[in-house]
Amino acid sequence: MSDGQPMPDLQKSRDHRRIPIAKVGVKDISYPIVVQDKNRSLQHTVARVDMYVDLPHQFKGTHMSRFVEILNRYREQVALDRLEDILREMRQKLGAETAHLRVEFPYFIDKAAPVSKARSLMEYTCEFDACLRGETLDFVLGVKVPVTSLCPCSKELSRFGAHNQRSIMTVKVRYTDFIWIEDLVALIEQCGSSPLYALLKRADEKHVTEQAYQNPRFVEDMVREAYLRLAAQENITWFSVEAENFESIHNHSAYAAVELDRRGSGR
């Protein structure tokens, strides 16, 4: 305080409502991170970061500045292999039992167009969602994969064409051995009618249009195809897949979701 008196610390004071808080902290901090890249070793990107801890009922508030202090101590090193260190430090510095750290970031994959082979960077929104409770680290990798879907019903009924649209497939996985984002994207891209590319020349455009027409998929087909492919990977202990088709003939989306949990099944 400018008059030399100690500043009051309201956060530390007692709360009498006897209500513990499961998650309190900072949300949506923009921060540079480093992600392992299958083809280029490392990829630098900028994440939106959420950091939360639990707060016992007797405390009025958490110490918000400490979350940002911790993040800044890991400057240049906020990466998958440091998440557990960051979570441990959050728990310790905030006197909490549970810590949550979620980073959502754009990740870029260099793809070749199907015919011209023209190369371009395609953006995928990814997330690392980690939680440390006791000695258990829970980690979920999430990726949003945009694809084209073409409606089988529309194709069946129509003399010409079929309605088609951009769809977003959201996959989340828990696993035992490292999974590349690139491999997860490639797996999910097989589940729509056609993959998306940032750059298509005319020959490519003809190819993806015909590919989608030959490969019609309901939203149900998309999540079922993803289920089969993900369930075939022993390494994956849990997954969820959502598909949202932004229908071109409706002002609403078609949606489907599936989930498989093998944790505790001895596999």
Ligand X SMILES: Nc1nc2c(ncn2[C@@H]2O[C@H](COP(=O)(O)OP(=O)(O)OP(=O)(O)O)[C@@H](O)[C@H]2O)c(=O)[nH]1
Decide: is 29 part of the binding site for ligand X (CB under 6 A): no
Q: Binders of ligand X: how many residues, by CB under 6 A?
A: 8
Decide: is 63 part of the binding site for ligand X (CB under 6 A): yes
Candidate segments 55-63, 122-130, 162-170, 225-233, binder of ligand X by CB under 6 A: 55-63
Closest-by-Cβ residue to ligand X is 61
Query: Nearer to ligand X by C-beta: 10 or 42?
Result: 10
Query: Nearer to ligand X by C-beta: 65 or 72?
Result: 65
φ, ψ of residue 22 in degrees (nearest 5): -75, -40
What is the Cα–Cα distance from 10 to 63, expressed in whole angstroms?
Answer: 10
Q: Round the CA-based radius of gyration of the chain to a whole number and report it.
A: 23
What is the Cα–Cα distance from 22 to 52, expressed in whole angstroms?
Answer: 9
What is the Cα–Cα distance from 181 to 212, expressed in whole angstroms?
Answer: 24
- Rounded (5°) CA angle 197-195-191: 160
Nearest distance in Å: CB 131, ligand X: 21
Query: Nearer to ligand X by C-beta: 65 or 190?
Result: 65
Decide: is 72 part of the binding site for ligand X (CB under 6 A): no
Decide: is 77 part of the binding site for ligand X (CB under 6 A): no
Crossing angle (nearest 10°) for helices 64-73 and 83-93: 150
Nearest distance in Å: CB 69, ligand X: 7
Query: Nearer to ligand X by C-beta: 1 or 232?
Result: 1
Evaluate whether 26 touches 64 at the Cβ level (below 8 Å): yes
Summarize as ranges the residues that interact with ligand X (CB under 6 A): 9, 11, 61-66
